[in-house]
């Protein structure tokens, strides 16, 4: 059996592999993990922990399931045996929800939609984590349960408001965790603790059963060690939920496979932190050296103006609305800094709100124009990294600095992904964040894996989220096969590989001459046919036309019969091009033919 320490951080992928090769059971994982939590001795990370007896009952049930079903269990339960934690403003049935305010505490009868989905996928909940009270803060010190210390350097802030969730992943106490993100709370802890923070498109993950901060802006976020781990969780959690009025079905934009056009603020702000500035500049120099990357400087003032509205505009009134009557009757029970911020909501009226909404709409349009010719915006996740003592002495100003590159994102209806970059010269983490419009989630994940690779990551290419739109199945036979030179044309349109199969035994395959890249021609014949290897891909209907427009003669899109008898759209070849072309049907497929050529 593996000891958990031998696996390093108990990431989703290495735990899953250990379960698959039977070198670790879920019961052994939980036993070792509980000892690791005890040895780590970071009680401020947790507000509530699941009882050990319940954890072992859950893990033993999963062990039995694996024994009964074998490897098939991993298809039904994509998060089989994976330990996770949730921020304590997310409901879990039978556990208190405090939002880091004991006087506010209640025990929900039902779990939030997102927790329910994760548990149904086989994940094991370890506990609920500390946060800046009512998710108001980016520092992780505004909690009666204690300031959450940074996982790398304990005298520094962990970042908030999802402080405990970020530190728990960074310290290897769980494989992934849930936070929430209104102004950066799902990204700042990732940047300051050297992990991945995925803030999905707003409404992609249900917020039903989540204590709101600003309900029109809130997102549930994911912390993980790698982009692939976070993406695996998102594929489970990113489901439309009619119970959440802000949940929505979002069409994805697809990926970028060949080159990246990246926007960078023309004027960068680090508040005098020259070490943070040097780390980001080092990252930029690496990007500039890549032939497939083009950087474009843009005016960042539009984004900073929007960011200022979050706490210097009527959206603080939405925080007051979220807390409701509790604020008026329990203000003295709240953290004084949090109470002071939320109390400012009383200073705004409906006219202020509408005027601010008009201003925000103008800023959003200006931001769209600024980014219209690029794939995404790249910024430092945080401009600086303060110590806990400094934040406690100057709580509002230093907190505001941490939101410089984050506050505008939900205002502008954007997705964001925070990933580790080059460490600072003083050994502290330094992260960057990729940001683009709603629906860009896979684009950002694939770009991050390409530009900022993490050891032992798993690719997100070909693994789109659940399609919330009409799709069409397409059979490919040559240069569009997975791993072949033109496969990018499918990936960039958000296509997903459905299966590898063969045609019916009524086809011939030829190697077409003078094609670049080399391509085969597939033709149906009346006799002496063969079954030819194909892949069936699923592509959004809205992208199918532009894909077909790129298909060059003599190829065309027709209808192909698969081995199982179904007919799907697929690549065929004009008969005239087959005359004199080399017949390669006896190889059984394009890959086998290429392999024969060495």
Torsion sign, CA atoms 384, 387, 392, 393? negative
CATH architecture of 4-451: Alpha-Beta Complex (3.90)
Is the pLDDT score of 593 beyond 80?
yes
Over residues 138-187, the pLDDT tens digits come to 999 999 999 999 999 999 999 999 999 999 999 999 999 999 999 999 99
d(CA 122, CA 544): 35
Catalytic (active site) residue 128: no
Torsion sign, CA atoms 6, 10, 16, 22? positive
Over residues 438-461, the pLDDT tens digits come to 999 999 999 999 999 999 899 998
Q: Report the pLDDT averaged over residues 67-89.
A: 96
Catalytic (active site) residue 585: no
Q: Quick one: angle between helices 315-323 and 301-312, nearest 10?
A: 40
Tokens of 423: 């460490």
Q: What is the mean pLDDT of the chain?
A: 95
Q: Report the pLDDT averaged over residues 41-55.
A: 97
How many angstroms separate the Cα of 142 from the Cα of each of 44, 160, 185?
12, 9, 13
Residue 324 is predicted with a pLDDT of 86
Q: Helix, strand, coil shares of the chain as percentages rounded to 5? A: 40, 20, 40
492 in Cβ contact with 453 (< 8 Å): no
d(CA 32, CA 3): 7
Residue appearing with tokens 């040097």 = 278
Residue 371 is predicted with a pLDDT of 98
Residue 519 is predicted with a pLDDT of 97
Over residues 563-587, the pLDDT tens digits come to 999 999 999 999 999 998 999 999 9
Residue 9 is predicted with a pLDDT of 58
Is the pLDDT score of 10 beyond 90?
no
Q: Note whether 4-451 and 471-596 share their fold.
A: no
d(CA 360, CA 424): 35
Query: What residues does each domain of the chain span?
Result: 4-451, 471-596
Is the pLDDT score of 525 beyond 70?
yes
d(CA 43, CA 148): 9
User: 1: pLDDT confidence band, cut at 50, 70 and 90?
Assistant: very low
The domain 471-596 is placed in CATH, from the list 3.10.490.10, 3.40.640.10, 3.40.50.620, 3.40.50.150, at 3.10.490.10
d(CA 301, CA 312): 16
Residue 304 is predicted with a pLDDT of 97
d(CA 476, CA 487): 9
306 in Cβ contact with 408 (< 8 Å): yes
- According to DSSP, the residues that pair with 263 across neighbouring strands are 296, 377
For the chain, what is the radius of gyration of the CA atoms? 26
Cα pseudo-dihedral 65, 67, 68, 69, rounded to 10 = 80
Sheet strands (E) in 251-390 = 260-265, 293-298, 376-380
Catalytic (active site) residue 161: yes
Is the pLDDT score of 8 beyond 80?
no
End-to-end CA distance of the chain: 42
Q: What is the three-state SS of 350-398?
A: HHHHHHHHHHHHHHHHHHHHHCCCCCEEEEECCCCCCEHHHHHHCHHHH
What secondary structure letter does DSSP report for 586? Answer: G
Q: Report the pLDDT averaged over residues 358-377.
A: 97
Is the pLDDT score of 288 beyond 60?
yes
- Residue 89's nearest CA partner among 167, 165, 144, 201 is 165
Q: In sequence order, what are the residues at sequence separation of 6 or more whose Cβ sits closer than 8 angstroms to the Cβ of residue 396?
A: 337, 341
Residue 3 is predicted with a pLDDT of 38
573 in Cβ contact with 510 (< 8 Å): yes
Over residues 252-271, the pLDDT tens digits come to 998 888 899 999 999 999 99
d(CA 390, CA 374): 38
d(CA 475, CA 499): 10
Residue appearing with tokens 């096969």 = 481
d(CA 250, CA 561): 32
Helix (H, G, I), strand (E, B) or coil at 441: helix
71 in Cβ contact with 163 (< 8 Å): no
How many angstroms separate the Cα of 154 from the Cα of each of 88, 396, 423?
22, 21, 17
Over residues 476-516, the pLDDT tens digits come to 999 999 999 999 999 999 999 999 999 999 999 999 999 99
Tokens of 514: 């003078």
User: 598: pLDDT confidence band, cut at 50, 70 and 90?
Assistant: confident
Active-site residue, from 59, 185, 247, 585: 185
Active-site residue, from 161, 165, 221, 504: 161
Tokens of 114: 């997102």
- Phi then psi for residue 166, to 5 deg, are -65, -45
Residue 285 is predicted with a pLDDT of 97
Over residues 371-412, the pLDDT tens digits come to 999 999 999 999 999 999 999 999 999 999 999 999 999 999
555 in Cβ contact with 521 (< 8 Å): yes
Active-site residue, from 11, 31, 59, 87: 87
């Amino acid at each position: 059996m593996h000891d958990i320490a031998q696996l390093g951080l108990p990431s989703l992928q290495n735990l899953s592999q250990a379960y698959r090769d039977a070198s670790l059971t879920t019961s052994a994982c939980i036993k070792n993990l509980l000892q690791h939590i005890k040895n780590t001795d970071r009680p401020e990370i947790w507000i509530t922990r699941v009882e050990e007896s319940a954890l072992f009952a859950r893990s033993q049930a999963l062990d039995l399931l694996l024994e009964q079903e074998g490897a098939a269990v991993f298809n039904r339960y994509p998060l089989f045996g994976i330990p996770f934690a949730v921020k304590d403003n997310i409901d879990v049935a039978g556990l208190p929800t405090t939002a880091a305010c004991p006087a506010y505490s209640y025990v929900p009868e039902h779990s939030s939609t997102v927790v329910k989905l994760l548990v149904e996928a086989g994940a094991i909940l370890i506990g609920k984590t500390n946060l800046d009270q009512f998710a108001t803060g980016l520092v992780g010190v505004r909690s009666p349960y204690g300031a959450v210390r940074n996982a790398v350097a304990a005298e520094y802030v962990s970042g908030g408001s999802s402080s405990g969730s970020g530190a728990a992943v960074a310290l290897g106490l769980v494989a992934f965790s849930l936070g929430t993100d209104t102004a950066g709370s799902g990204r700042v802890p990732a940047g300051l603790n050297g992990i991945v923070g995925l803030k999905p498109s707003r409404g992609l993950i249900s917020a039903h059963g989540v204590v709101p901060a600003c309900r029109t802006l809130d997102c549930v976020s994911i912390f993980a060690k790698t982009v692939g781990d976070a993406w695996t969780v998102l594929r489970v959690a990113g489901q439309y939920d009619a119970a959440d009025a802000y949940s929505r079905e979002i069409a994805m934009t697809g990926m970028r496979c060949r080159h990246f056009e990246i926007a960078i603020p023309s004027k960068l702000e680090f508040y005098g932190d020259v070490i943070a500035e040097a780390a980001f500049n080092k990252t930029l120099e690496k990007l500039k050296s890549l032939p497939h990357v083009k950087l474009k400087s843009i005016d960042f003032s539009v984004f900073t103006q929007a960011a200022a509205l979050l706490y210097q505009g009527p959206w603080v009134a939405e925080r007051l609305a979220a807390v409701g009557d509790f604020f008026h009757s329990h203000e003295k029970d709240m953290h004084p800094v949090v109470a002071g911020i939320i109390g400012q909501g009383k200073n705004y009226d409906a006219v202020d709100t509408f005027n601010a909404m008009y201003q925000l709409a103008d800023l959003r349009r200006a931001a769209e124009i600024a980014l219209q010719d690029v794939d995404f915006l790249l910024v430092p996740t945080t401009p600086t990294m303060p110590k806990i003592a400094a934040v406690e002495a100057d709580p509002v100003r230093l907190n505001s600095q941490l939101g410089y590159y984050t506050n505008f994102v939900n205002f502008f209806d954007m997705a964001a992904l925070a990933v580790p970059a080059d460490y600072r010269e003083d050994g502290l983490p330094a992260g960057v964040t990729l940001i683009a419009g709603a629906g860009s989630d896979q684009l950002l994940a694939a770009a991050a894996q390409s530009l900022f690779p993490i050891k032992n990551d798993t690719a997100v290419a070909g693994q789109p989220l659940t399609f919330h739109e009409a799709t069409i199945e397409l059979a490919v036979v040559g240069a569009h096969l997975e791993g072949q030179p033109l496969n990018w044309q499918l990936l960039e349109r958000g296509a997903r590989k459905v299966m590898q199969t063969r045609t019916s035994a009524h086809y011939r395959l030829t190697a077409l001459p003078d094609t670049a890249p080399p391509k085969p021609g597939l033709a149906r014949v009346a006799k002496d046919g063969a079954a030819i290897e194909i892949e069936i891909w699923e592509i959004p209907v809205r992208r199918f036309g532009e894909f077909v427009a790129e298909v060059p003669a003599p190829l065309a899109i027709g209808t192909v019969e698969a081995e199982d008898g179904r007919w799907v759209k697929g690549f065929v070849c004009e008969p005239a091009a087959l005359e004199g072309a080399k017949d390669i049907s006896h190889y059984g497929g394009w890959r086998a033919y290429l392999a024969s050529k060495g």
